Amino acid sequence: MQISIKKCSSDDVREIQELGRQTYFETFQGTTSPENMNAYLEKAFDRKQLENELANPSSQFFLLHVNGEAAAYLKINVDDAQTEPMGGESLEIERLYVKKPFQKHGLGKILFHHAVNLARELRKKKVWLGVWEHNDNALAFYKKMGLVQTGSHPFVMGDDEQTDLIMTKTLA
């Protein structure tokens, strides 16, 4: 299995859009109405929205390919791009998604460690993320990676307000 991680540019918008829609739908289908799911997918993975996110110097996207196929992606935020005001010493993992056929092969762990290494390079002291309170697989994974719950915040999908747990890892 040949794995590569690529930092994304504006040339990668379509691939991010397709991978984002697919992995989000695979992960959360059946947890809200089809209308709420479609509203979220249309908003979060709108081409213009993704172009704006890619143009923000405080955000970065990475694609992970396995044998040339897009299998997973990561989005990180620092400074004012963070979705919560966590300060200049924090790096947010806003998105870390792996396609279903590639799950349970260590790809999430590879991307998580990539984010932690970036945080260290940027001299950040904490890595944090929000994860849906009922996403048991992700919660178990993040706990295994050393994150602990430090709070919560609302997450809106269409007109469905859910709760994300804020999980944090202090870097040594």
Which residue stretches of the chain are H helix? 13-28, 34-44, 47-55, 107-121, 136-144
Sign of the torsion angle spanned by Cα atoms 125, 131, 134, 135: negative
Residue of 47, 109, 102, 41 lying closest to 74 (CA atoms): 109
Q: Taking the mean position of all CA atoms in its chain, how far away is CA 83?
A: 12
Contact 54, 10 (CB under 8 A): yes
Residue 102 to residue 98: CA distance in whole angstroms: 6
Question: Among 40, 73, 97, 142, which one carries the catalytic annotation?
Answer: 142
**Is residue 142 flagged as an active site residue?**
yes
Residue 153 sits at the vertex; the CA angle it makes with 152 and 156, to the nearest 5 degrees, is: 140
Give me the active site residues, please: 142
